Chains A and B, each alone.
Chain A
């Protein structure tokens, strides 16, 4: 699996670089509210949950996915979630609830809840990066 590991390492590095960039703008994002087309876009978050770092932030869809994300259009309604720096595919439902690829049939109220549900489900296992997931 050297190929996978290398890709994972690159994605993680890209995610960490994006973290550094996003940290400076997170406050501005919450204050400015609403990216186009997603009313009530959730706030960024960054916490350690059950020993793992989960992060979420508005995503313009530009740049930080690197070459990994096919299509380039993020389906989280302009919001990206990471577990230990690896992107977790999330999706916003029409009613405002959220799911992730790890818990795809059980909507929860927020992307932070989706990230926590993923950590619960992973039981310590590492998440595989796009495009694998």
Chain B
């Protein structure tokens, strides 16, 4: 059974195996297909039109399935690997071990944002940025430059306290848990972390930075925490909503899974802590 662990508690061997599996997916071309899929949805999901991956109730189940696909791909390389999660409310500094050279590498240099250490630095030759929106082919970051602070635990708790999963108009203007977690409204959790990392993480091709998966694994864990705090509340909307994925409607691009099938993560993985 897959156990998703806090990245801060990984052993040196677990970090090494995770990095090696990610690099192998990059080498064999499977990694970039995930980047392409994400960008297609991010430019296609609109507030007044069809919306599936973002700015909509299915933001959470869509990313849960997307991460499952990626985790299964990693496990096809090394069956011992699970996605770690990054609790950015605790590990909130560029000096966190997450950004050390034995794991994701650090921030980018001032001149051009280029990441210069770690396994994903362009100089290593193992991490070409192929699916991109501009001419730059090297991984970039600017930790803490786009926004000074990562969300605090108190801010996370204020969002977890929201009793309703999502509300009409089911987009970036919504009140409720999903949109506050996504960050279009209120204290801003998920979106702000993308901006804090900077570089490709701030763009539509954000999965170019491997921290994308650790960020979303923690967003996914917060969904699970919210479910435990609000056992009476469920995914909304239930049915009949134009342009929006209802509880029992299947999601693109897989077309075989509905949010209802993804509400319980425990058939697929558990977390190291409750």
Contact = CB atoms under 8 A, between A and B. Distances in A.
A103 B48 contact: no
A51 to B, nearest CB: 16
B204 interface: yes
Given A75-B49, A94-B47, A104 B203 contact: yes
B134 A127 contact: yes
B183 A93 contact: no
A109 B39 CA distance: 23
B248 to A, nearest CB: 25
A9 B55 CA distance: 34
A101 B133 contact: yes
A126 interface: yes
Contact of A125 (B49, B135, B202): B135
A69 to B, nearest CB: 10
A114 B222 CA distance: 30
Interface string A65-95: 0000001010101000000000001011111
Chain A interface mostly helix, strand, loop or mixed? loop
A127 B172 contact: no
A93 B206 contact: no
Interface size class of B (residues with CB under 8 A): 20 to 34
A122 B48 contact: no
B191 interface: yes
A103 B203 contact: yes
A16 interface: no
A94 B39 contact: no
A133 B191 contact: no
B98 interface: no
Given A126-B134, A133-B39, 16 more contacts: A75-B43, A77-B48, A89-B204, A91-B43, A93-B47, A93-B55, A94-B171, A95-B173, A104-B42, A104-B203, A106-B191, A106-B195, A125-B134, A126-B135, A127-B134, A127-B135
20 contacts: A71-B44, A75-B44, A89-B204, A92-B47, A93-B172, A93-B173, A94-B48, A101-B42, A101-B133, A101-B203, A101-B205, A102-B202, A102-B204, A103-B202, A104-B204, A105-B202, A106-B191, A125-B134, A126-B134, A133-B43
